């Protein structure tokens, strides 16, 4: 037992080093001058230290614009998902109305629709309104995926009916009950849903690639992708890696802060718990 415990820890340390190494290497290159990287890019410690690669991002190029685009699109998708999906989820669990079962099943059926199979008709839909290269086109389709409704319904089912019933007896309207009593106690579920939506939207690739064709409307994810694949990049490896670091930092920070919520969101959404 002792031996296998030690062996487990050793294995985990080796694995963790292997998993962290690519990220660490990106960080090292981002802090190394471009000229040095032309000679050798495989040092595991910066051969000379510089922050020029990061400063360069602010000085030139569209990187900052893409960063702002990503923030706007992700924030809008996350907030709308939180609001609309919790409202719908609440109605499906705590309100009584005709056709509820059907509407709920119909909404959940959308979970079986793979997002990546819809980009052609979605493209045509936004083309009809000449709405490509707008923020609206980037975040609205993301709010349509019913995953959030599913997550919120799972959570609301665990809240006793007596809470909202008591509020109603006290004369509170449905709206007041929801916004002043239910939402505050839903904070853990909302945080899980919010962080999960944030990560998925920030990392969206195919839809922004299709819809936002003007460079100014790229997101960080599509923008960074557009900088890869041409060989001119190899001369400015450090600058490129600095952009990679900047694109990853918001998510890594959020992940470290809200790790438990994100993992809970994943567990609930997959039906695991």
Considering only residues 163 to 192 of the shown chain, the ones binding another protein according to CB under 8 A are: 165, 173-175, 178
Q: Which of residues 15-34 bind another protein (CB under 8 A)?
A: 15-16, 19-23, 25-26
Dihedral of the alpha carbons of 200, 202, 206, 208, in degrees to the nearest 10: 140
Q: Which stretch binds another protein (CB under 8 A): 49-57, 95-103, 183-191?
A: 95-103
Q: Which is nearer to another protein, 99 or 184 (CB)?
A: 99
Q: Which is nearer to another protein, 184 or 272 (CB)?
A: 272
What b/e sequence results for 29-55 when a residue is b if at least 16 CB atoms lie within 10 Å of its CB, and e otherwise? bbbbebebbeeebeeeebeeebeebbe
Q: Which of residues 43-82 bind another protein (CB under 8 A)?
A: none
Q: Which stretch binds another protein (CB under 8 A): 9-17, 45-53, 56-64, 182-190?
A: 9-17
Q: Which is nearer to another protein, 56 or 244 (CB)?
A: 244
Residue from 91, 147, 153, 190 touching another protein (CB under 8 A): that is 91
Other residues' Cβ atoms within 10 Å of the Cβ of residue 172: 16
Q: What is the DSSP string of 38-87?
A: HH----SS-SS---HHHHHHHHSSSHHHHHHHHHHHHHHHHHHHHHHHHH
* Two tokens, residue 191: 């945080």
Q: Which stretch binds another protein (CB under 8 A): 13-21, 48-56, 57-65, 186-194?
A: 13-21
Residue from 35, 179, 216, 267 touching another protein (CB under 8 A): that is 267
Q: Which stretch binds another protein (CB under 8 A): 49-57, 96-104, 183-191?
A: 96-104
CB of 65 to another protein, least distance (A): 16
Separation CA 72–CA 58 (nearest Å): 18
Evaluate the CA torsion angle 61, 65, 67, 69 in order and state its sign.
Answer: negative
Q: Which is nearer to another protein, 38 or 216 (CB)?
A: 38
CB of 185 to another protein, least distance (A): 17
Does 217 help bind another protein (rule: CB under 8 A)?
Answer: no
Separation CA 14–CA 81 (nearest Å): 39
Does 117 help bind another protein (rule: CB under 8 A)?
Answer: yes
Separation CA 159–CA 136 (nearest Å): 34
């Amino acid at each position: 037992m002792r031996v296998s415990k030690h062996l487990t820890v050793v294995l985990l340390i080796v694995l963790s080093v292997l998993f962290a190494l690519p990220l660490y290497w990106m960080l090292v290159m981002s802090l190394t001058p471009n000229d040095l990287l032309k000679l050798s890019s495989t040092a595991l410690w910066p051969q000379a230290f510089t922050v020029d690669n990061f400063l360069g991002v602010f000085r030139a190029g569209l990187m900052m614009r893409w960063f702002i685009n990503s923030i706007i699109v992700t924030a809008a998708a996350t907030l709308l998902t939180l609001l609309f999906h919790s409202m719908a989820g609440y109605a499906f669990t705590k309100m009584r109305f005709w056709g509820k079962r059907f509407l709920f099943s119909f909404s959940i059926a959308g979970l079986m629709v793979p997002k990546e199979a819809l980009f052609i008709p979605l493209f045509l839909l936004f083309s009809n309104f000449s709405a490509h290269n707008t923020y609206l086109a980037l975040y609205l389709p993301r709010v349509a995926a019913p995953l959030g409704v599913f997550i919120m319904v799972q959570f609301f089912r665990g809240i006793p009916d007596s809470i909202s019933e008591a509020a109603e007896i006290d004369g509170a309207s449905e709206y007041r009950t929801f916004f002043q009593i239910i939402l505050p106690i839903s904070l853990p579920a909302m945080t899980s849903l919010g962080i999960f939506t944030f990560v998925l939207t920030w990392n969206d690739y195919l839809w922004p690639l299709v819809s936002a064709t003007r460079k100014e409307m790229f997101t960080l994810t599509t923008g960074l992708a557009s900088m890869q694949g041409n060989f001119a990049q190899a001369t400015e490896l450090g600058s490129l890696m600095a952009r990679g670091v900047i694109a990853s930092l918001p998510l890594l920070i959020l992940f470290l802060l809200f790790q438990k919520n994100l993992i809970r969101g994943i567990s609930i959404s997959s039906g695991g718990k």
